[in-house]
Copies of this chain bind each other. A is one copy, B any other.
Amino acid sequence: MSSGYDVGMTASAPTPRTGVAFLLAQLGAHAAGLFADRIAGLDLTPAQAGLLRMLAAAPGRSQRELAGDLGMPPSRFVPFADELEERGLIERRRNASDRRVYALHLTGKGEALLAELAQAGMAHEQQLCDALTDEERDRLLVLLRRMADQQGLRPDVHPGYRNLRPKPKP
């Protein structure tokens, strides 16, 4: 096999499969994809789920703040929030003292969906950690938390929303 070429240090590719970095990227994309598929059953995209969680954690923030945390421009946030509002999951409330801003809140229906989301999240976690014992999972958690911390990643809020869209149903 292996026809032509071989200039000096060809060898078996750089450091791809071997390294932690590659495995993290691979597993991370895999995890995000599985999660997207799972919550598609709730008619939610990862970004929508992210907003619901953010509103539960800190209600009443402005659209611009939320858009910033989700990594999207305000202009894109508007139709994004529109859909969730039309579905009765979130609510825009005018601020009396500054009538330019909307304070965003979860509705009762939104809270209920968030509970379903929690269950989906737990099942997702189990599916992903199926190859690990409980003790191993704990040790993994410690290491990953330390890495995330040292890399300056915020404890909550957006992994790689941005480019995840729902899949068509063939």
**Residues of A in contact with B (beta carbons under 8 Å apart):** 2-5, 7-17, 19-32, 35, 53, 56-57, 59-60, 105-108, 111-112, 114-115, 117-118, 120-122, 124-125, 128-132, 136-137, 139-141, 143-151, 153, 155-156, 158-160, 162-163
* A137 to B19 alpha-carbon distance, docked (Å): 9
Of all A-B residue pairs in the complex, the 6 with the closest CB atoms, nearest first, are: A28-B28, A29-B160, A14-B118, A131-B150, A25-B159, A26-B159
* A128 to B148 alpha-carbon distance, docked (Å): 9
* Residues in B whose Cβ lies below 8 Å from that of A115: 8-9
Contact with A32, one of B9, B20, B29, B35 (Cβ below 8 angstroms) = B29
When all copies of this chain in the complex are counted, the total is 2
Which of A23, A25, A106, A162 is packed against the most chain B CB atoms within 10 Å? A25
* Residues in B whose Cβ lies below 8 Å from that of A29: 28, 32, 159-160
* A111 to B114 alpha-carbon distance, docked (Å): 51
* Residues in B whose Cβ lies below 8 Å from that of A12: 56-57
* Residues in B whose Cβ lies below 8 Å from that of A35: 21, 25
Give the residue name and chain of the B residue nearest to A25 (CB): B159
* A146 to B65 alpha-carbon distance, docked (Å): 39
* Residues in B whose Cβ lies below 8 Å from that of A156: 13, 16-17
